[in-house]
Structure 1
Amino acid sequence: METPNTGPHSPKWQYRFDFFARHGAPKTKEYRQALKELPFAGKFKVNINLFALFFSWIYLFILGMWRKGLVVFGLYVALIVVSFFVPDLLVRALAAALGLSVAMSTNYSYYAERVQGKVSWNPFEGLF
């Protein structure tokens, strides 16, 4: 299989792009099987983006994925509105789930946009 045209990206992004090119999206069986075979540091590098975990929509804007950033921002605004009507514990759980989902989907979304040319509004592309 050919190595994707990744351009001027860091070695960390090159590693992620190569993994996605060989094994597909996170929702595929091949991806999950290949991820199991990686050491812990490799799993973490491919599967989670810490900047996206802590800065979510801001980091998506920095990466140039403004469409996805707007959707995530809208989800956080909706969560703030919901927070007035539901228990605080539920809001915290939903915010944590949203943050983790963004962190787990950002790497593949960036790959899909930069390498495959797929521009979309779905911030969870490849995850579900």
Structure 2
Amino acid sequence: MTENATTVNTGKDYSPSWQRRFEMLDYLEADKLSYDAMRKTDKYKALSFGEKFRVSRNFLALFFGSIYYFCKGMWAKGLFIIAVSSIYSMLLMTIEAAAGRLFIPSIAYWLPPGIFTFLLANYDYYRKEKLGEKIWSVIPAVFGEIKVILPIAVIAFAANIYFAYQITMMLPDPYLGY
């Protein structure tokens, strides 16, 4: 068990699809390996395309991101994703504002965080249920505490909204010309 983990969830009934995913992740030793290390093993490479897809892809997480994490009880990771996504969004808005009339498509704002959750959601849920992991091991354990990550996520999200409003008021309207 890592320092970012609490107690293991035992005695919980999972759907047959989650049971299959958990069995495959057990086989791939996901409780001992990082996501990248697991994907580099010969066991993972020997899986069929469908098995790889089932174990390491999640469309609900792609479209719902942090909300999916919240629904699965991964609060700290969901809030961390909100905070990082908000900072990423402010960075893109800064680039747009600095370049003047440069327009970055909205897909550039939501797709990278969506792909991140798309790839990691099943692995993260497995580690939460098997090890009680709150936050990724590469992130300091203090961010796994709700009392720490919640204010950070709220501030980052509020700053993102404020920043977006300020940028919107500053840029000329491309349709009206002023």
TM-score interval (norm. to shorter): 0.7 to 0.9
String of CA shifts for 1:34-71, please: whole Å, max 9, x gaps. 23322222111111011111100000000011111101
Tell me if the contact between 1:51 and 1:59 (Cα under 8 Å) persists in the aligned partners.
yes
Gaps of 5+ in 2: 1-9, 97-103, 140-178
Question: Paired residue for 1:9, among 14, 21, 25?
Answer: 14
**Greater Cα shift, 103-112 or 36-45:** 36-45
1:79 equivalent in alignment to 2:84? no
Partner of 1:35: 44
Distance across 2 between alignment mates of 1:63 and 1:45:
17
Gaps of 5+ in 1: none
1:47 equivalent in alignment to 2:56? yes
Q: TM-score, normalised by structure 1?
A: 0.77
Larger Rg: 2
Tell me if the contact between 2:62 and 2:117 (Cα under 8 Å) persists in the aligned partners.
yes
How much has 1:79 moved relative to structure 2? 2.2
Q: TM-score, normalised by structure 2?
A: 0.57
Q: Pick closer, same or farther for the CA change 1:6–1:50 going to 2, 3 Å.
A: farther
String of CA shifts for 1:84-107, please: whole Å, max 9, x gaps. 222526x81x64232212111111
1:115 equivalent in alignment to 2:104? no
Aligned residues: 119
- Cα RMSD, aligned residues only: 2.8
Q: With CA pairs under 8 Å and 6+ residues apart, which has the higher RCO, 1 or 2?
A: 2
The residue identity in structure 1 corresponding to 2:89 is: I
Percent identical: 28
The residue identity in structure 2 corresponding to 1:44 is: F
